[in-house]
Chain A
Amino acid sequence: QQQVKQSPQSLIVQKGGISIINCAYENTAFDYFPWYQQFPGKGPALLIAIRPDVSEKKEGRFTISFNKSAKQFSLHIMDSQPGDSATYFCAASIHSGYSTLTFGKGTMLLVSP
């Protein structure tokens, strides 16, 4: 049973456009939702994260929107740049003494020049 479903699997966006990646979760105990960015040959890097007490968090061009009732959260990349081309993973964890992350399957983003 996949606990975090991520879509789309791949995405092509023109430079300057908005990239949107969606995730849905099933376990209502999840209370921490990070997004990771991974470039080829590198480990995942934490991009931005949100907790369910807020509906939106923005850091620069990256915004997380969170809908607790729908059990969905999404990553928006504004003014997408070719340097944003990477694989993006959403994840979720439960506050339980230590953090075990459950990852989505990833979205490969290509921003065309």
Chain B
Amino acid sequence: SAVISQKPSRDICQRGTSLTIQCQVDSQVTMMFWYRQQPGQSLTLIATANQGSEATYESGFVIDKFPISRPNLTFSTLTVSNMSPEDSSIYLCSVAPPTGDWETQYFGPGTRLLVL
């Protein structure tokens, strides 16, 4: 399995500001994913980020609100732009391993965001 870290682990932000969340993996992976988990809720996929291509966003999520970068095979960022209290959530990145059981996803510890 991959070891995934996220920064920051938590943050409190003001309405209207933006926050960039970093996801670092200890091995090279092709596919990285960003999820949102609202309090007490399930995980909702925001977008898939493959290195060397534009991120693919799920229905209900747009690039202007959640721009994603994927500069190399071990790193990605998700920006939550022009935040509102409704953006208060846990944001999780996950990766699919490049070999073996590629349908498996391994998750980072999450970034807990509170927007005031």
Which residue of chain B lies nearest to A98 when distances are taken between CB atoms in the complex? Answer: B31
Q: How many pairs, one residue from A and one from B, have CB atoms within 8 Å of each other in the complex?
A: 55
Report the interface size for chain A: residues with CB under 8 A from the other chain.
21
Q: Is the CB of A99 within 8 A of B110?
A: no
Q: Is the CB of A100 within 8 A of B48?
A: yes
Report the interface size for chain B: residues with CB under 8 A from the other chain.
25
Q: Is the CB of A99 within 8 A of B31?
A: yes
Complex: A43 Cα to B103 Cα, angstroms:
18
Which B residues are in CB contact (< 8 Å) with A101?
A: 43, 45, 105
Which B residues are in CB contact (< 8 Å) with A34?
A: 103-105
Q: Is the CB of B103 within 8 A of A103?
A: no
Which of B31, B50, B92 is close to A43, meaning CB atoms less than 8 Å apart? Answer: B92
* Contact surface of B with A, Cβ cutoff 8 Å: 1, 4, 31, 33, 41-45, 48, 50, 92, 94, 96, 101-110, 112
